[in-house]
Amino acid sequence: MPSVRMEDYDVIVIGGGHAGIEAALASARLGVKTGLFTLSLDDIGNMPCNPSIGGTAKGHLVREIDALGGEMGRAADANTIQSRMLNKGKGPAVYSLRAQIDRATYHLHMKQVLEKQKNLTVKQAEVKKLLFCEREGKKAVCAIETHLGGVYGCRAVVIATGTYLAGRIFVGEASYAGGPDGSLAALGLTESLIEAGIPIRRFKTGTPARAYADSIDYSRLEKQIPDEEPEPFSLLFPSIPENKMDCYIAYTNSQTHKVIQENLHRSPLYGGQIVGIGPRYCPSIEDKVVRFPEKERHQVFVEPMGERTEEVYLQGLSSSLPIDVQEKLLRTIEGFEEIRLTRHAYAIEYDCCDPLSLAPTLESLCCEGLYGAGQFNGTSGYEEAAAQGLVAGINAAKKVQGKEQVTFPRSESYIGTLIDDLVTKGVQDPYRMMTSRSEYRLLLRQDNADLRLTEKGYQIGLVSEESYQAFLQRKAAIEETVRLLQTTGLGPTAELNGMLEEKGTAPVKNGATLADLLRRPQIVLADLLPFAPFLEEKEKRVVAEAEIIVKYDGYIQHQLAAVERAKKMEARVIPKKFDYNKIKGLRLEAIEKLSKIRPENVGRAARISGVSPADIAVLLLALEKREGENE
């Protein structure tokens, strides 16, 4: 087929999933002519794995995306059908918002946002090839070619191919090329990526079966109770979501596990047909049964797919077993005896890159102007994808504008933690964000995402002046409320001491400030409201934020000190062409890893797997010696 030169763009985004959406919007909103190419316009913002956004640590990412001016939080709020704040029985560092989403309306919402965005063109076309040129003596991407022969020039490309890249579906003995939910696979593009020097690997994920809602006996299931007062994801554009539909929990049992064990030989996962590495923290049901034989049951979340469909997801039952085995094992579950499936579960293999080949900006170290985002970078999850897409889109736009690109320190955000883990430590299986991955999680709470990142979003250019001014007002209100808590004193009245004794804490003899009382483990701010009625006049979210700041002040100060120590390490810059082979005392493994990853500072070097504290001590001495020689 002859090639035909078409229009040029500054930035081209390949893929219309959660990473591609945020990348394209960020690029276009920064004033750059952007083209989004997707296999199907009907798959934009698709949710093939489960119809929800947020969850443990993932809710933090959505709040951070919103604080920086991204779209996911707003879209989630507009299409929520049930909302719950997870981990409320634990500390605020791990509170995480999770919302059940109407899958169909979310897709339409995102599609329309993209279509209406200035500087952005959305095209349905399969990108088959990247075209390269030389830019400043280095290989650079300069165009893409589609399956119809169209050649579109560009100065930067964001690869956000999700699970479509060389996708292959597995259901029992059946196997065929395809993307999620019966869509097409993206074939041919991998060869161009290899030509660009990108190291490619093979990962695998899966999705559960779907069923008719009326074929399940909900009276035998456990109902999930939503929050009475749902919270929004978006703090820049707050709109309160509604609880519209119910979710339930079912459980597997010994009979279910027996059916699985008897048919493991028919699973491509155990028969050797699947070679891709699957997600450690989201295994298939057959994997759960094999890996956790001591567990008598596993949860199955029955989640509606939307208000205008009778389909429900059976979350927790992803599988690649044959269709007859899937139906047999499902009917062993209480409440599922008469279940009728609309779609069977499947596993999917796909190509992705080794993220160690990326810079912290998410630009390829091998090819100028080529960026990666989402599952292409070895992650799993819509939220992880969207976060990377936002960063890749920002930096692709900054690149073509000749402006300094943006990076995110670990101490500043979960987005920074995610990207630093990817490009510094690499991944052995699909990466999932968890609160335990951050050493600064008390600072990086979901409730203060706007306080941490809105200023940065404004400086980048994605947060409007109106939103920024509203943020400044909210920030000032929080600071004023903290001041009032620290300075307002309460005398030793009978009412106050009676409340304190009832809560199991000592009465006050000479009075105390609200902050002093709030720091007691037994006391929460609600206990003090009768003694400080002025707080009830303030916005709920402002008071809640002030309470956390005051109550956990000692712990927060401890982590802030750790951040300052880390910053000193990050400030020790390593020259770009530093020759590690010349450092005496550096172990061979450290030389190999440091030479490959090329960390820009000592802090990042210290986080590389295989680089020991002793190696860092040797490196610091070498840098000091080099600096002394250059003086």
The pLDDT of residue 548 is above 60: yes
Judging by DSSP bridges, how do beta strands 52-54 and 96-101 pair with one another? antiparallel
Q: Are residues 521 and 492 in the same domain?
A: yes
Structure tokens given for 155: 């100065």
Domain annotation covers residue 315: yes
Q: Give the pLDDT band (50/70/90) at residue 277.
A: confident
The pLDDT of residue 630 is above 70: no
For every residue of 283-342, DSSP letters joined together read: --HHHHHHH-TT-S--EEEEEE--TT--EEEEET----S-HHHHHHHHTTSTT-TT--EE
The pLDDT of residue 191 is 95
The pLDDT of residue 202 is 96
Structure tokens given for 373: 């985002």
Which residues form the domain of 255?
Answer: 210-349
Q: Are residues 303 and 332 in the same domain?
A: yes
Q: Are residues 506 and 606 in the same domain?
A: no
Buried b (16+ CB within 10 A) or exposed e, 198-208: bebeebbbbbb
- DSSP 8-state secondary structure symbol assigned to residue 512: E
Q: Are residues 536 and 596 in the same domain?
A: no
For every residue of 518-556, DSSP letters joined together read: HTSTT--HHHHGGG-GGGGGS-HHHHHHHHHHHHTHHHH
For every residue of 453-494, DSSP letters joined together read: HHHHHHHHT-S-HHHHHHHHHHHHHHHHHHHHHHH-EE---H
Q: What is the identity of the amino acid at 504?
A: G
What CATH number did the domain enclosing 608 receive?
1.10.150.570
| CA 135 to the chain's CA centroid | 33
The pLDDT of residue 151 is 98
Q: Are residues 235 and 317 in the same domain?
A: yes
Say how far apart CA 313 and CA 454 lie, in whole Å.
35
What CATH number did the domain enclosing 499 receive?
1.10.10.1800
Q: Are residues 587 and 469 in the same domain?
A: no
Q: Are residues 494 and 538 in the same domain?
A: yes
What CATH number did the domain enclosing 214 receive?
2.40.30.260
Report CA torsion sign: 311, 317, 320, 326.
Answer: negative
Tell me the angle at which helices 323-330 and 254-262 cross, rounded to the nearest 10 degrees: 160
Say how far apart CA 286 and CA 267 lie, in whole Å.
8
Domain annotation covers residue 327: yes
> Which of these three, 523, 556, 589, is where a domain ends?
556
Nearest to 186 by CA among 217, 170, 154, 164: 164
The pLDDT of residue 239 is 86
Place of tokens 């007002």: 473
Domain annotation covers residue 282: yes
- What are the Cα distances from residue 323, in Å, to 45, 154, 270, 467? 27, 45, 16, 51
Q: Are residues 229 and 344 in the same domain?
A: yes
Q: What contacts 256, CB < 8 A, 6 or more positions away?
A: 329, 332, 333
Q: What contacts 152, CB < 8 A, 6 or more positions away?
A: 6, 7, 8, 9, 12, 35, 37, 143, 144, 145, 146
Q: Give the pLDDT band (50/70/90) at residue 152.
A: very high
Query: What's the half-sphere exposure (Cβ side, CA atoms, 13 Å) at 562?
Result: 15
> Region 531-556: what's the mean pLDDT?
92
Residue length, the chain?
A: 631
Helices vs. strands in the chain: H and E counts, helices first: 21, 24
Query: What's the half-sphere exposure (Cβ side, CA atoms, 13 Å) at 453?
Result: 36
> Region 467-481: what's the mean pLDDT?
96
Domain annotation covers residue 563: no
The pLDDT of residue 208 is 95
- What are the Cα distances from residue 341, in Å, to 17, 66, 212, 460? 26, 36, 6, 47
Q: Are residues 240 and 329 in the same domain?
A: yes
The pLDDT of residue 543 is 94
> Which of these three, 556, 588, 617, is where a domain ends?
556
> Which of these three, 326, 349, 372, is where a domain ends?
349
Q: What contacts 569, CB < 8 A, 6 or more positions away?
A: 601, 602, 603, 606
Q: What is the identity of the amino acid at 326?
A: Q
> Region 497-508: what's the mean pLDDT?
94
Q: Are residues 608 and 529 in the same domain?
A: no
Q: Are residues 613 and 489 in the same domain?
A: no
- Cα Rg of the chain (Å, integer): 26
Q: What is the identity of the amino acid at 495?
A: E
The pLDDT of residue 627 is 76
Domain annotation covers residue 426: no
SS3 (DSSP) at 173: coil
The pLDDT of residue 494 is 93
> Which backbone phi and psi does 268 adopt, to 5 degrees?
-65, -20
- Residues of the chain above pLDDT 70, percent: 99
pTM (predicted TM-score):
0.94
The pLDDT of residue 77 is 97
Domain annotation covers residue 373: no
Q: Which residues pair with 274 in a beta bridge?
A: none
Q: Give residue-wise pLDDT tens across range 286-325.
A: 999 999 999 999 999 999 999 999 999 999 999 999 999 9
Say how far apart CA 593 and CA 588 lie, in whole Å.
9
Q: Give residue-wise pLDDT tens across range 187-246.
A: 999 999 999 999 999 999 989 999 999 999 999 999 999 999 999 999 888 888 999 999
Q: Are residues 591 and 531 in the same domain?
A: no
The pLDDT of residue 237 is 86
Domain annotation covers residue 532: yes
**What domain count does the chain have?**
3
Domain annotation covers residue 577: yes
